[in-house]
Chain A
Amino acid sequence: MTDTPPVSASFEALIADDSAFARRYLAGIVHSLGGMVVGEAASGDCAVALYARLRPDLVFLDITMPELDGVEALRRIRAGDAAARVIMVSALGHKEAVWRAICLGARHFITKPYTPDYAGLVIRSVLAGEAGGAP
Chain B
Amino acid sequence: MRLECVEAFADASVKVLVAMLGDQFGAGPPRLACSEERGSGVIVHVRFSGEAEGHVALEIDSLTALRLYAVATGQLHDRLPPLGLDYFLELGNVISGAAVSRLNELGFDVVVHPPELLDAAAGDDPAEAEACLIPVYSPHGGILVQVVLCTG
Please give the residue numbers on chain A whose beta carbons come within 8 Å of chain B beta carbons, in ascending order.
18-22, 24, 64-66, 90-97, 112-113
Contacts and interface: CB of A to CB of B under 8 A. Distances in A.
Interface residues of B, number: 24
B54 interface: no
B83 A91 contact: no
Contact of B94 (A65, A91, A95, A96): A91
A93 B114 contact: no
B97 A24 contact: no
A94 B83 contact: no
Nearest to A112: B94
Contacts of A65: 114
Given A19-B89, A19-B93, A93 B113 contact: no
B84 to A, nearest CB: 8
Nearest to A18: B114
Contact of B97 (A20, A66, A92, A95): A92
Contact of B100 (A21, A24, A66, A92): A92
